[in-house]
Structure formats: structure tokens, C-alpha cells
Amino acid sequence: MKKGKTAVIVGAQWGDEGKGKIVDVLSQNFQVVARYAGGHNAGHTVIINGKKFILQLVPSGILRSGCRSVIGNGVVFDPIAFLKEVGNLRDAGVEVGGNLFISNRAHVILPYHRMIELASENAPGRVKIGTTSRGIGPAYEDKMGRRGLRVADLLDLKLLKTHIENACREKNMIAHALFNSEPLDADKMYEEYATVSAKIAPFVCDTAALLNRALAEGQSIVFEGAQGTMLDIDHGTYPFVTSSSATSGGAVTGTGVPPNAIDTVIGVTKAYCTRVGGGPFPSEALDAAGDLLRTRGSEFGAVTGRPRRCGWMDLPLLRYAGMINGISWLVVTKLDVLDEFAEIPVCLGYKIDGKKAEEIPAQDSGFGKIECIYQKMPGWRTSTQGITHLEKLPKAAREYLSFLERESGARVGVVSTGPGREQTIFVEEFAAKLKELTGSVTKAQARK
């Protein structure tokens, strides 16, 4: 049997690029969607027939019947948040049983992780990263410190009790000494999570075996990233980053498939730039234009509701994301947000201390010295919302997309012109690539 094909979908900016919608649209062609990093700090918003779904842990593929969804070992897993999300999906009529699987090797977020993160983020003298305080970072710290609790361990009640008793003793001492926090009750925590354990058990399996078996059987898999390249723990704007491998390499380590199983990488970028929380943002628009981008783009976090910082397309960062991830195809989202602008600035390059910079700075202090070199592209001043054919876009909008394609070095394969599934343009060559990957193509994807 022919081996199955795969695609990795990654954020090419600071997250919030619209990956949820794109995974949802593409999952119609793939048999499996696998999430490989992050936790319930990542929110994917999908709108289907006007109904909004906000997914935090569950992969977007769950909204497609017949598509299996996998939460991989690279994810940090909050079982209570998961059960709440599953309950909401069932209430909305989404079939979950038999379609959703959790890795037995994923690490579990427990209440003391949230306690430590919240206290640490608010500690005097601490550089505020802008975390969601949901325990993501401390859970990854325990994972790397080899003192974490995995999903398989959550199901072993004897081990769970011992782990919670020991962890609470240690974490309560640390939190009290450093932050004067109130202690957590180990017995109460055990009772709650022992109950949760039984509810989680039907979803748990060896997902690495599941995914590799699916590939061997000829099934196609799309790997769903969380956050974006510039939030990657290694390659992002450190320390203003997330705690996991958000780049395409994380798809391998975060699910257990081999590197040679990855066939193509699809990068998702907005037609402009946003980021949430603190940290560098060279092309940020701190003026009325930035406010207009935020208003038109409804730029508020799906999980936190925080207003996003807004600015212009940053080509040096887009090229960097292409290099780090091996991006072959670009998905450009929210093109319609730019409809009202007479001119659209694009950052072509950087100057640092008056000299043209060829590489992205490694330090936050280096970003602080950046002077963006801008080129103003003509706007189109007409609505593009809901357009589904490339040739029906205004000429200036098509030229803007061609410019991004030339400057980034990756092909533009998909353009999103609104939040709904149907508000999507598929470029003919990309539709052909999808057919090669999955053996199928939808009518929408066959449109030019």
C-alpha cells in the first residue's frame, strides 16, 4: 500500500494568524489532524455557517466528520479544560467519541503549575512576558526537569496520589517562600484528578503508534501547530516566547513520526502583523492605522480577549520563518482587513545602527535598535470580503500578494477573505498539490 502523505501547518508570525480556520478547511481532505505543541493557551477560532467554535486543546479536525483528531505528546494537557471543551463540543452536536485521541505521553498541567506561573508573572522585578497564567510554562519546566506527570501516569491512581503529595509538598514550599502564596490541598487535588482520570481514560492511547499506523495504511495527516514561529522557544524573540517548539520541527518531536514523513510545510501569515503580550515588534503601528487594523481585524485574543498589537507585514521575519520551517506554501489570511487603506506599508528590511541587517537579532536589545525600511504598496479601497476566485480580486490586491510571494520565496497557495470556511481562495497549483498529498480535491479548492 502507498504510504500516506503529510503536511505541517505553522504560524509564520507571532501566532493568531488564522491557523484554526485553515486547518479546518484543509482537514476536509486529510484523514487525521494532529496537534503537536502548546497547551490551552492557544485558541483556534473556526466559523461554520455563522456559528463560532473556539478550540483550545482539541484540534480543528474534530469539526469534520470522519476525521480523527490527535493531541500529541508535545502538548501540555489540562484535563479539566479538555473535558469542558469536549462538553461544549457535544452540546453543539459535534461527534467526539471515537474521533479524538490523547497521547499517553503528553504531560499534565496541574493546579500548582497555574499557582507558580501566576505568582511568578506578578513577582516584583520580573520582566513580564505576558503569559496566560494557565500553567503552560511550569508544566514544560517539570517535563524537562524530569519531574512531570504524564497522561499515562494520570490513569495510574496509586502513582497519581504519590506524585500529587510529593509535588504539592515541594511546590507549596517554593510558592510560600518566593511569593507568599496560599498552599494547595494535596488530598483535595487527588480526589478531583482521580475522578477526572476515569473520564479521560477512553480518549488515551499511544498516538505515535496510531499516527505511524495511519501513514502505513496510506492515510494523510495534517500536523497542526500552535502559536507561531516568532514565539518558538528556540527560534523566537526570546524571552518573549512560548515554552514549546512551535516551528515545523516540533511536529516530529511532538507526535512521534519520523522526519522523513513530512512532505510539505504550509506557513500561515496575516496580510499584516500582530502579536499579543510583551516583546519586540519592529513593524508595530502605534497610530490610528494600527487602531484601524485592530478594529477591522477584530484583533482580540480568542482565549484571553486581550487586544492584539497591530502593525505591517514584516518581510525579514517572514523570510526567517520560511528558512526555519522550510515553508513551501503560504496561506495569507485577513486580506479583507486591508480593504480601507489607500497605502499599505510593508517592511522590506532592517537597519541596525544605520547599517543594513542581514540576519534577525538574537537578543531583545538587538530588536530595540531596529529601524524598519518600508515600501508603500498601493491599496485597493474596495471590498474583498468573501471573494473566492483569485482573478476577481482588485488588481492592487493581486499585486500585493504577488509581491509577498516574490519577497518571501514561498508560493501563495491560499488566500482568506473572511472568517468563514467558504470565504477562501485556493490557487490552482496549491489545489493540485493537495490532490497529490491526499488524493482528493474539493470543488472549492479546484477554483482558481
Alpha helices in 356-394 (DSSP H): 364-367
Assess contact for 104 and 152: CB atoms under 8 A: yes
User: In angstroms, rounded to a whole number, what is the distance separating the alpha carbons of residues 275 and 299?
Assistant: 9
Res 123: pLDDT: 56
pLDDT of 442 > 60? The answer is: no
Query: Which whole-number Å values give the CA distances from 363 to 238, 279, 319, 322, 368, in the listed order?
Result: 7, 11, 18, 20, 9
Exposure pattern of 351-384 as b/e (b: 16+ CB <10 Å)?
ebeeeebeebbeeeebbeebebeeeebebbeeeb
Assess contact for 294 and 264: CB atoms under 8 A: no
- Catalytic residue list: 16, 44
Contacts 24+ apart (CB under 8 A), 422-425: 422/386, 422/388, 423/385, 423/386, 423/387, 423/388, 424/25, 424/388, 425/387, 425/388, 425/389, 425/390, 425/393
Closest CA to 237 of 224, 248, 246, 249: 246
pLDDT of 246 > 90? The answer is: yes
Closest CA to 214 of 274, 249, 261: 261
Listing DSSP states for 286-324 in one string gives: -SHHHHHHHHHHT-B-TTT-PBPEEE-EEHHHHHHHHHH
Residue 42: which pLDDT band, with cuts at 50, 70 and 90?
low
**Per-residue DSSP letter, 40:** T
Q: What angle do CA 148, 151, 152 make, to 5 degrees?
A: 100
Q: pLDDT tens digit string along 188-229?
A: 999 999 999 999 999 999 999 999 999 999 999 999 988 999
User: In angstroms, rounded to a whole number, what is the distance separating the alpha carbons of residues 54 and 143?
Assistant: 27
Q: pLDDT tens digit string along 382-418?
A: 999 999 999 999 999 999 999 999 999 999 999 999 9
Stronger pLDDT, 217 or 41, i.e. the higher one: 217
- One-letter amino acid of 158: K
Assess contact for 320 and 345: CB atoms under 8 A: no
Dmax over CA atoms of the chain, in Å, equals 66
Q: What is the mean pLDDT of residues 158-186?
A: 85
